[in-house]
């Protein structure tokens, strides 16, 4: 279980997150929603150790992560799919996946499992990642994170700019990971993409979690109030 | 000597120049490509390699043994100094492009004056490990110079293999593309940067050790390699290994051939003119990405 307790963090002298509390439990999807600039991406980057922490903490199964250098965080089983995919574009698909495997010294069996989930990537192993289509790039970004065999997966707008069939594929993958017991924090803007897979919805505004609600039975009113949809 | 022989001699001289230049320029290109640091002290790392080669060779009982020891020890010492410099200086500047240029200018003076203080102002000869002379039609040629070409080629192949086939190379290339994402996949970027800076400096030092028996070791010898390395890296494309090698071959050959046939300054003028043309018509270099 990943616990964020009273986290205040930002970039250098600029504070973005203020006293954020959030829990991601195994086998559950916690969706973080909010307007642009609310601090959603900063929250995920803070979990990955890529911001300046001012106070509070981040714990994985009670082990503090917040004092670790950024490169040691993924070794604890935190997979990250950043906004905009952030693939290593000039590297091949195989090399991108190899980077993921190296993170926690995973073997060819893990790679095989990931390629079974995304068979289209198997056909493109020697292709430069930057030349893939948008949907394939998103598959690769997710596959690269899954090469860590993560216990916690952070997804930052994974359906952004994708066609409906690809969105469905990403949604199916998340559902399958959830069933395997992976704790998922999903930053998403599309309400319809969230409702079918989320267990909890946390609304952010101005760097704070302002309301957390169970996804089941949630009506349109919280979405209208917090994100104007 | 006939025109054919003269041309062949000039081409051989140019090839030796290209080999040494390629080693030094690849070091500079790696540093810029992976770290985005313009290392103005690169020429002084080159000079330090030659001066240390002289010091190591002096301490050894025989010329071949001294040279072999210098070939191993000088690049290792220069690489270690670069590693410490990265950790103590560049990392503290957060690899800011402007600050690191100023810092490496300062570093270059420190290294240069350090070499002057410890080794003196005199040019020092380093004995070649062997004195084989090969006979070509119309002229004899140093076997050692051909050894320099072969050794440089071998090292460049090793660098290419390391970058494209090894785990360390994969990590360096990933860091080059996106250091934050690299960190999110467990890559210790600080260590990659320190290793890259050390490797770049060690390659410059290695080039200088190979060159030392041909020219001489001197505390002011870093200027020309720095200028030519920058010319090669700019023409080849910043961060492009392929472009750097090709540009080193062209500039090295041109410099070698023109220096044999005309006043050496002409070669430098033409190389600088080539850089100006590239910067005007193809600012990213022949093989660089347009970013």
Q: Do A99 and B180 touch (CB under 8 A)?
A: no
Among positive and negative, which fits the CA dihedral B210, B215, B219, B221?
Answer: negative
| Chain B residues with CB-CB distance to A74 below 8 A | 184-186
pLDDT in tens, B80-133: 999 999 999 999 999 999 999 999 999 999 999 999 999 999 999 999 999 999
Select the residue of B167, B170, B186 nearest A74 (Cβ to Cβ). B186
| Chain A residues with CB-CB distance to B185 below 8 A | 74, 99-100, 102-103, 144, 148
Q: Do B186 and A98 touch (CB under 8 A)?
A: no
- Total Cβ atoms within 10 A of residue B216: 15
Candidates B165, B184, B289: best to mutate against A (most CBs of A within 10 A) is B184
ipTM tops 0.85:
yes
| Chain A residues with CB-CB distance to B186 below 8 A | 71-72, 74-75, 102-104
**Average pLDDT for chain B:** 92
Interatomic CA distance for residues A131 and A215, integer angstroms: 37
Interatomic CA distance for residues B43 and A4, integer angstroms: 50
User: Per-residue pLDDT for B290 more than 60?
Assistant: no
Interatomic CA distance for residues A221 and A214, integer angstroms: 14
Q: What distance lies between CA B262 and its chain's CA centroid?
A: 25
182-211 of B, contacting A, C-beta below 8 A: 182-189
Q: How confident is the model at residue B3 (pLDDT cuts 50, 70, 90)?
A: confident
- Total Cβ atoms within 10 A of residue B190: 16
DSSP bridge pairs for A187: A32, A156
Interatomic CA distance for residues A119 and A115, integer angstroms: 5
Residue B289 has a pLDDT of 65
Residue B291 has a pLDDT of 47
User: Per-residue pLDDT for A33 more than 80?
Assistant: yes
Mean pLDDT across A214-229: 86
Interatomic CA distance for residues A106 and B201, integer angstroms: 34
| Chain A residues with CB-CB distance to B174 below 8 A | 88, 91, 95, 99
Pairing of strands A29-34, A2-11: unpaired
State the DSSP code for A118. -
Mean pLDDT across A62-86: 95
Select the residue of B167, B185, B189 nearest A74 (Cβ to Cβ). B185
8 Å CB contact between A104 and A126? no
pLDDT in tens, A80-105: 999 999 999 999 999 999 999 999 98
A112, burial (CB in 10 Å: exposed 0-12, middle 13-18, buried 19+): exposed
Q: Do B181 and A74 touch (CB under 8 A)?
A: no
Pairing of strands A152-156, A183-187: parallel
> How many percent of chain B have pLDDT more than 70?
99
Interatomic CA distance for residues B217 and B222, integer angstroms: 10
B189, closest residue in chain A (CA to CA): A71
User: Per-residue pLDDT for B47 more than 80?
Assistant: yes
Whether B290 and chain A come into contact, CB under 8 Å, resolves to no
Mean pLDDT across B33-59: 96
Task: Determine which of A152-161, B69-78, B99-108, B237-246 has the lowest per-residue pLDDT on average.
Answer: B237-246
B220, burial (CB in 10 Å: exposed 0-12, middle 13-18, buried 19+): middle
Mean pLDDT across A181-204: 90
8 Å CB contact between A20 and A66? no
Q: pTM, whole model, 2 decimals?
A: 0.91
Identify the three-state secondary structure at position A181.
coil
Give the best-scoring range by mean pLDDT among A20-24, A214-218, A221-225, B277-281: A20-24
pLDDT in tens, B135-180: 988 899 999 999 999 999 999 999 999 999 999 999 999 999 999 9
Interatomic CA distance for residues A40 and A56, integer angstroms: 17
Closest CA to A55 of A115, A5, A2, A130: A5
Helix (H) or strand (E) holding A121: helix A119-122
Q: Do B170 and A50 touch (CB under 8 A)?
A: no
pLDDT in tens, A100-138: 999 998 889 999 999 999 999 999 999 999 999 999 999
Helix (H) or strand (E) holding A53: strand A52-60
Residue A220 has a pLDDT of 86
Q: Do B185 and A75 touch (CB under 8 A)?
A: no
Higher pLDDT, B9 or B199: B199
> Order of strands, edge to edge, in the sheet holding A52-60?
A14-24, A2-11, A52-60, A63-64
Please give, one letter per residue, the 3-state secondary structure of chain B.
CCHHHHHHHHHHHHHHHHHHHHHHHHHHHHHHHHHCCCCCCHHHHHHHHHHHHHHHHHHCCCHHHHHHHHHHHHHHHHHHHHHHHHHHHHCCCCCCHHHHHHHHHHHHHHHHHHHHHHHCCCCECCCCCCCCEEEECCEEEEHHHHHHHHHHHHHHHHHHHHHHHCHHHHHHHHHHHCHHHHHHCCCCHHHHHHHHHHHHHHHHHHHHHHHCCCCCECCCCCHHHHHHHHHHHHHHCCCCHHHHHHHHHHHHHHHHHHHHHCCHHHHHHHHHHHHHHHHHHCCCCCCCCCC
Closest CA to B52 of B200, B198, B202, B209: B209
8 Å CB contact between A44 and A188? no
Select the residue of B167, B173, B189 nearest A71 (Cβ to Cβ). B189
Q: Do A50 and B180 touch (CB under 8 A)?
A: yes
CA distance B125 to chain A (A): 45
Q: Do A144 and B188 touch (CB under 8 A)?
A: no
Q: How confident is the model at residue B63 (pLDDT cuts 50, 70, 90)?
A: confident
CA distance A179 to chain B (A): 24
Candidates A52, A78, A99: best to mutate against B (most CBs of B within 10 A) is A99
Interatomic CA distance for residues B6 and A119, integer angstroms: 61
Q: Do A71 and B174 touch (CB under 8 A)?
A: no
Interatomic CA distance for residues A159 and A166, integer angstroms: 8
8 Å CB contact between A9 and A42? yes
Select the residue of B177, B181, B189 nearest A90 (Cβ to Cβ). B177
Q: Quote the tokens at residue B70.
A: 């210098």
Residue B237 has a pLDDT of 86
Tokens 């080193």 appear where? B248
pLDDT in tens, B213-247: 999 999 999 998 999 899 899 888 877 888 888 98
Residue A227 has a pLDDT of 84
Interatomic CA distance for residues B1 and B167, integer angstroms: 51
**Average pLDDT for chain A:** 93
């Amino acid at each position: 279980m990943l616990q964020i307790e009273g986290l205040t963090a930002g970039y250098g002298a600029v504070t973005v997150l203020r006293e954020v509390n959030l829990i991601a439990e195994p086998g559950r999807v916690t969706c973080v929603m909010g307007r642009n600039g609310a601090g959603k991406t900063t929250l995920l980057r803070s979990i990955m150790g890529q911001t300046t922490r001012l106070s509070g903490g981040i714990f994985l199964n009670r082990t503090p992560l917040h004092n670790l250098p950024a490169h040691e965080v993924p070794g604890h089983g935190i997979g990250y799919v950043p906004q905009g995919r952030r693939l290593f574009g000039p590297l091949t698909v195989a090399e991108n996946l190899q980077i993921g495997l190296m993170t926690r010294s995973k073997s060819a069996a893990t790679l095989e499992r990931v390629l079974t989930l995304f068979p289209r990537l198997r056909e493109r192993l020697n292709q430069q990642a930057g030349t893939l289509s948008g949907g394939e790039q998103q598959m690769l970004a997710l596959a690269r994170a899954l090469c860590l065999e993560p216990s916690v997966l952070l997804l930052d707008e994974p359906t952004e700019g994708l066609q409906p069939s690809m969105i469905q594929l990403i949604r199916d993958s998340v559902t399958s990971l959830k069933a395997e017991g992976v704790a998922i924090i999903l930053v998403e803007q599309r309400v319809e993409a969230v409702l079918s897979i989320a267990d909890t919805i946390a609304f952010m505004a101005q760097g704070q979690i302002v309301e957390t609600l169970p996804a089941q039975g949630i009506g349109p009113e919280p979405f209208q109030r917090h994100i104007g949809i | 000597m006939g025109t054919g022989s003269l041309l062949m001699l000039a081409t051989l001289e140019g090839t030796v120049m290209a080999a040494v230049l390629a080693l030094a320029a690849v070091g500079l290109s790696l540093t810029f490509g992976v770290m985005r640091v313009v290392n103005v002290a690169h020429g002084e790392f080159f000079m330090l390699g030659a001066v240390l080669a002289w010091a190591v060779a002096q301490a050894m009982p025989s010329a071949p043994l001294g040279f072999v020891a210098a070939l191993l020890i000088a690049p290792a010492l220069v690489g270690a100094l670069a590693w410490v410099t990265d950790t103590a200086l560049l990392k503290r500047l957060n690899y800011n492009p402007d600050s690191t240029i100023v810092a490496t200018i300062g570093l270059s003076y420190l290294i240069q004056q350090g070499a002057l203080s410890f080794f003196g102002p005199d040019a020092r000869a380093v004995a070649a490990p062997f004195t084989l002379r090969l006979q070509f039609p119309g002229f004899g040629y140093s076997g050692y110079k051909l050894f320099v070409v072969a050794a440089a080629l071998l090292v460049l192949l090793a660098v290419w293999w390391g970058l494209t086939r090894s785990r360390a190379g994969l990590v360096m290339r990933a860091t080059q593309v996106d250091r934050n994402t690299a960190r999110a996949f467990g890559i210790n970027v600080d260590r990659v940067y320190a290793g890259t800076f050390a490797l770049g400096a060690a390659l410059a030092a290695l080039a200088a050790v190979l060159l030392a028996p041909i020219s001489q070791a001197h505390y002011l010898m870093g200027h020309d390699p720095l200028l030519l390395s920058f010319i090669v890296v700019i023409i080849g494309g910043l961060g492009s290994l392929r472009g750097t090698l090709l540009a080193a071959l062209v500039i090295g050959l041109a410099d070698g051939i023109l220096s044999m046939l005309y006043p050496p300054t002409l070669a430098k003028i033409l190389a600088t003119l080539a850089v100006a043309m590239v910067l005007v018509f193809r600012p990213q270099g022949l093989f660089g990405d347009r970013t």
